[in-house]
Amino acid sequence: MAKRLDSRAPGFAAAFAALVEEKRAAEPDVARDVAAIIAAVRARGDEALIDYTKRFDRLALTPERLRIGRDEIDAAERACAPKVIDALRFAAQRVEAYHARQRPEALDYIDAQGVRLGARWRPVSAAGLYVPGGTASYPSSVLMNALPAKVAGVARIVMVVPTPDDALEPAVLAAAKLAGVSEIYRIGGAQAVAALAYGTATIAPVDKIVGPGNAYVAEAKRQVYGVVGIDSIAGPSEILVVSDAKSDPAWIAADLLSQAEHDVAAQAILITDDAGFAARVETEIASQLATLPRGNIAAASWARFGALIVLGSLDEAPALIDALAPEHLELALDAPERLAARLNHAGAIFLGRYTPEAIGDYVAGPNHVLPTARSARFASGLGVLDFMKRSSIIGCDEASFAALAPAAIALAEAEGLGAHAHSLAIRLGRARDQ
């Protein structure tokens, strides 16, 4: 049964703190196994990928079959229903347009001492995209991961996707083609992450790896970080809905279940100022669970991690929202901007009663790859800057160097770094001799 909290009840602060600190992802200890897989891929390359794919995905491959060919991709696109292709194109256009506005501008100026300062941005050379495979995979996630890389100007975008029993959703390949993915390989798990990080005879290494996966994939990303960049370690999905009694309880119930159906460890929370409305939403949840295709998953998530929080006033909500730092935050209110302006921590904020989280999953435009497990306190959703890096630009002439050097020499000497100080002082000496 979902938790029920009331801010006017004794013990609310302790109960809410327990909700905030609750661990939902009971990850198995896979570090040793993952380390062995990575070592095998580094040592044996394609041979290890083929062995692990046969073992875990029940699929026999050869080096030539690791890569999914253009003919297979085109055939998959033809196998998709026209309405799916149209929807993918529509979504891609909106996602690409939104992310195009994230492109950073170069910085270049001369300061008061005559020093040229600036910054320039360049894309990573190659990005790797991990996509969960099989028939329960998500073409929308392909768009969300690949299109920011495309907008950033990444020249080589590589996708890995497991195909257990040789099964793969055609829309995933269609989305990859639409998003400009350069290469696709039918491998998954920690071994795919290792191949992206270190390379094999068939797969050249990349500079950054993004995309969600199971505990083995997450641990592999942890272990290869530093050799390559990574986006984040994704946790179970979560949604927090703030609503007053003016909303339709059936709508709010549907929104909560839209995330609960992802995973038994997902979390859905309602904050409201009306106990009767909370009860009506709970009744609607029970009714809708009986009809959902993934009702068993959603029911387990709601029973174990769901929560209904009733406040004396919604003025209490900002502090609670910031403490939860939710991945998805819906403000189903008449004037949601007023509450949103008071918030600091949320992955994505959905304004008003006609902006369900699901619209953001597919076609709104902003990225649906968002920080989970309260990491919105310090992290952002995936974007163009995740595929770019910034280089500082510094340029002195003789006069501007002379203006800066004495202070730099004093600091170098204070730190006991004589070669630093000499590198500076020798130029002042040359300037005096000329």
Q: Which residues are catalytic?
A: 327-328
What pairs with residue 239 in β-bridges?
268, 328
The gap between the terminal CA atoms of the chain, to the nearest Å, is 84
Taking phi first (over 0 means left), then psi (-120 to 50 degrees means alpha), and beta for anything else, what does residue 146 get?
A: alpha
What pairs with residue 118 in β-bridges?
108, 393
What does 353-384 look like in DSSP terms, one character per residue? TT--HHHHHHTSSS-S----TTGGGT-----G
What are φ and ψ of residue 139, in 5° steps? -60, -30
Cβ pair 368, 95 in contact under 8 A = no
Query: DSSP label at 389?
Result: E
Residue 336 tokens read as 């949601």
**Residue in the block written with tokens 């995209």:** 129
Number of residues in the chain: 434
Q: Where are the beta strands (DSSP E) in 212-347?
A: 229-230, 238-243, 267-272, 307-310, 328-332
Taking only Cα atoms into account, the Rg of the chain, rounded to an integer number of angstroms, comes to 26
Kindly report the three-state secondary structure assignment for every residue of 23-58. Answer: CCCCCCCCHHHHHHHHHHHHHHCHHHHHHHHHHHHC
Distance in angstroms (rounded) separating the CA atoms of residues 177 and 171: 10
